[in-house]
Amino acid sequence: MLRILSGIKPSGTLHIGNYLGMIRPMVESQERGLLFCFIANLHSLTTLFDGPRMAQNTLNALIDMMALGIDPQRSVFWLQSDVPEVAELTWYLGNVTPVGLLERCHAYKDAQAKGVPANHGLFSYPVLMAADILLYQSNIVPVGRDQKQHVEVTRDIAVKFNSAYGEVFTLPEPEIAESVAVIPGVDGQKMSKSYGNTVEIFGEEKAVRKRIMSIVTDPTPVEAPKDPDKSVIYSIYKLFVDESRAQAMAERFRAGGYGYGEAKKELFEAVWGYFEPFRRRRSELADNLDYVNEVRKTGADKAREVASATLKRVREAVGVICS
């Protein structure tokens, strides 16, 4: 069965760019293979140095992903640090990873460019990510475009390992849904928590409305016809509604006499309505942390079963088992 794997860092509140670019494709992938989905808390440690906040974000991320449709009955869902095998594999992989490969990776390069002192964790971030992917012999990794490089690095590392020690690892493929590869934020740039231009998935109604109403638009007057494909409003709206509602907005844009303010109100209604069942589910889960913790534990057990089988082969291959 096809193995699909993806992880998400618990480093802040989730936004609709995360949802459309990565979470929704991942949830949908539960229909076509065995999904491995985890909260990448070890990755967040490269940039977040606040224990209590880290713990709180992690719990929130577990709840968020369950609320958004990860089904622990059908999928393997766990917290990265609950599977210590990943740290051991990171070490083995690190020894077949050329430094030059990591120097070219974007998180480290960005830190260098900004003159921010990088730590070793940030530098070796892609090796930990390779361990995440290879430990579960994943075939497909659904991610947003910004993570493609990391999946390619994973392939390079797997090829190096396999050529040194024999065919131990499956080579994964990144899978990027092109229509949602880069969701724009309220200022038109890529939506990202680092740019402060996000629309949160589980924000308060007033705040979400305010955010959507603040989408930057051009000064075209209300009466003038507008090109829907040039508008952030339409490009997000069409991803939350069915074809006929999307068409209807596109026609109103083209016809003229339709202002951006009105379009933003419609976008807010669509987004708010879309997440309504997820909000309800989220609040049920938040009131039932025993269940959340039980899911976390069962998920870790399932993940460890697969992880330890791979690690056994790796240990034999590299020769740390001598009996």
Interaction site with ligand TRP (CB under 6 A): 5-9, 40, 43, 129, 132-133, 141, 143, 147, 150
**Closer residue to ligand TRP (CB): 18 or 197:** 18
Complex with ligand ADP: residue 8 or 270, whichever CB lies closer: 8
Q: How far is the CB of 309 from ligand ADP (least distance, A)?
A: 27
> In terms of CB distance, is 129 or 317 closer to ligand ADP?
129
Residue 306 near residue 247 (C-beta atoms within 8 A): no
SS (H, E, C) 169-195: CCCCEEECCHHHCCCECCCCCECCHHH
C-alpha dihedral sign at 198, 203, 208, 214: negative
Query: Which single residue is written with the structure tokens 């899978």?
Result: 175
Place of tokens 């968020």: 64
The rounded distance, in Å, linking the Cα atoms of 196 and 188 is 12
Judged by the rule CB under 6 A, the positions of this chain that interact with ligand ADP are 8-9, 17-18, 21-22, 143-144, 146-147, 180-183, 190-194
Binding partner of residue 21 among ligand ADP, ligand TRP, none, CB under 5 to 8 Å per kind? ligand ADP
- 154 neighbors 161 (Cβ within 8 angstroms): no
Whole-angstrom distance, CA of residue 131 vs CA of residue 57: 23
CB nearer ligand ADP, residue 66 or residue 317: 66
Residue 40, contacted partner among ligand TRP, ligand ADP, none, CB below 5-8 A by kind: ligand TRP
Residue 167 Cβ vs ligand TRP, minimum distance, rounded to whole Å? 21
Shortest spacing between CB 275 and ligand TRP, in angstroms: 21
